[in-house]
């Protein structure tokens, strides 16, 4: 275990909170959701991801890192060493075996394993794993093929502003366009975003051998990610039974057999919306459509939910 990890962290009932990257889209949403959910803060400090952030946040009890990967890698060890409990929303620590990667509805028990640092997943992974984990317990997932349609805000403020006439951070102009590339492409043609989706899904579901393939597409939408999902199961599962399972799962809203949610239905709420649920040619094939607010449940709300479970009870 790294020397800077803490053996035990005790959080007070009204902690002093710092948000590093408070002016980012996710940072702003964190502040909004902390207030909305009445998180019991003694104080909230809003910080930029610049070099002064570690010193300024070191006396906080709780730190949300809504900052770039390079910032999270540099600052998280310093903050944990100073005694802070840190939740990182970047990809910096998500695959570190010593750092719990958590979606509370899926693997909330992993929170107790933390040593001062926890990671919140990629905004496309949250709705996907919530849907897969809530399938009936008796079925086993053999294969997942997912195509994501990711809003411009997933690339931060620059992505959002590119649809409002700003300089585009994307490899092509996104306005009136679809770009089948989120993040850099590797030598094998797989993007870094697709690699993250696969690796994080396997970790969150404790399924290291899961056969999963992803294609991530950037779409000219401001907020709200959508996913088209194909699942092959070991045993047959009627689409109606899948809907029943999702109806009882926390955080999920499922639609009728011929109904479906649009992106506008998910913006501003924390639900994972599932529709167009149907069987494939074989009864062990399930197809469905997901939409989720990428800034809320995909990022900020998930991090706040993790924090809520860390509060003393």
CATH code, 305: 3.40.50.720
Q: Are residues 262 and 279 in the same domain?
A: yes
User: Has residue 50 been placed in a domain?
Assistant: yes
**Do residues 52 and 175 both lie within one domain?**
no
185 in Cβ contact with 113 (< 8 Å)? no
Looking at the fold, whether 260 and 136 belong to one and the same domain comes out as: yes
**267 Cβ contact list (under 8 Å, min separation 6):** 223, 224, 293
For residues 40-45, average pLDDT: 93
- Whether residues 156 and 69 share a domain: the answer is no
Domain range spanning residue 60? 16-121+299-310
Residue closest to 148 by CA, chosen among 189, 81, 197, 111: 197
Is the separation of the CB atoms in 297 and 252 below 8 Å? no
Residues 79 and 154 in one domain: no
Q: How many domains does the chain have?
A: 2
156-180 pLDDT tens trace: 999 999 998 888 999 999 999 999 9
CA distance 207 to 202: 5
- CATH number of the structural domain spanning residue 268: 3.30.360.10
| Model pLDDT for residues 141-156, shown as the tens digit of each residue | 999 999 999 999 999 9
Q: pLDDT per residue over 169-208, tens digit each?
A: 999 999 999 999 999 999 999 999 999 999 999 999 999 9
pLDDT at 99: 96
Average pLDDT for 33-57: 87
In a domain, residue 235? The reply is: yes
| Beta bridge partner(s), residue 253 | 273
| Residue 47 CB partners (closer than 8 Å, separation 6+) | 18, 19, 20, 21, 22, 53, 56, 57
Residues 163 and 113 grouped into a single domain: no
pLDDT at position 257 over 50: yes
pTM of structure: 0.94
How high is the mean pLDDT of the chain? 93
- Cβ distance 153 to 25 under 8 Å? yes
What is the helix (H) or strand (E) element at residue 239, kind and residue range?
Answer: helix 239-247
Is 4 part of any domain?
no
Q: Verify that 137 and 97 share a domain, yes or no.
A: no
Residues 155, 290 within the same domain: yes
What's the pLDDT at 1? Answer: 47
Does one domain contain both 89 and 144? no
Does one domain contain both 167 and 41? no
**What are 90's two structure tokens?**
């970047």
**Tokens encoding 184:** 């850099």
pLDDT in tens, 87-110: 999 999 999 999 999 999 999 999
Q: For residue 7, is it within any domain?
A: no
Q: Is the same domain home to 79 and 178?
A: no
Tell me if 114 is assigned to some domain.
Answer: yes
**84 and 207 share a domain?**
no
Residues designated as active site:
123, 225
Shortest CA distance to 1 belongs to which of 130, 115, 151, 108? 115
Q: What is the DSSP string of 167-219?
A: ---SSS--TT--BS-SS-B-TTS-BHHHHHHHHHHHHHTT-TT-EEEEEEEE-
């Amino acid at each position: 275990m790294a020397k800077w990890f803490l053996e035990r962290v005790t959080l007070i009932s009204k902690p002093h909170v710092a948000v590093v990257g408070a002016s980012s889209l996710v940072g702003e949403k964190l502040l909004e959701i902390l207030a909305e959910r009445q998180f019991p803060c003694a104080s909230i400090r809003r910080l930029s991801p610049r070099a002064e952030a570690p010193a300024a946040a070191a006396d906080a009890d709780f730190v949300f890192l809504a900052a770039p990967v390079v910032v999270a890698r540099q600052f998280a060890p310093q903050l944990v060493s100073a005694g802070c409990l840190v939740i990182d929303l970047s990809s910096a620590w998500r695959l570190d075996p010593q750092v719990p990667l958590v979606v509370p509805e899926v693997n909330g028990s992993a929170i107790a394993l933390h040593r001062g640092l926890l990671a919140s997943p990629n905004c496309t992974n949250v709705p996907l794993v919530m849907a897969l984990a809530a399938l009936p317990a008796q079925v086993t997932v053999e294969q997942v093929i997912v195509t994501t349609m990711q809003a411009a805000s997933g690339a931060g403020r620059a992505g959002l502003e590119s649809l409002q006439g700003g300089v585009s951070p994307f490899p092509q102009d996104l306005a009136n366009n679809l770009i089948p590339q989120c993040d850099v492409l590797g030598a094998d043609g797989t993007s870094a975003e697709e690699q993250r989706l696969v690796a994080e899904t396997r970790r969150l579901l404790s399924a290291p051998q899961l056969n999963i393939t992803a294609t991530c597409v950037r779409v000219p939408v401001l907020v709200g990610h959508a996913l088209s999902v194909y699942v092959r199961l070991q045993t047959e599962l009627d689409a109606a039974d899948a809907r029943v399972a999702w109806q009882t799962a926390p955080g999920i809203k499922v639609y009728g057999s011929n109904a479906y949610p649009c992106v506008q239905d998910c913006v501003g709420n924390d639900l994972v919306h599932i529709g167009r649920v149907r069987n494939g040619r074989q009864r062990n094939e399930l197809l469905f459509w997901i939409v989720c607010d990428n800034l809320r449940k995909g990022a900020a709300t998930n991090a706040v939910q993790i924090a809520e479970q860390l509060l003393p009870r």
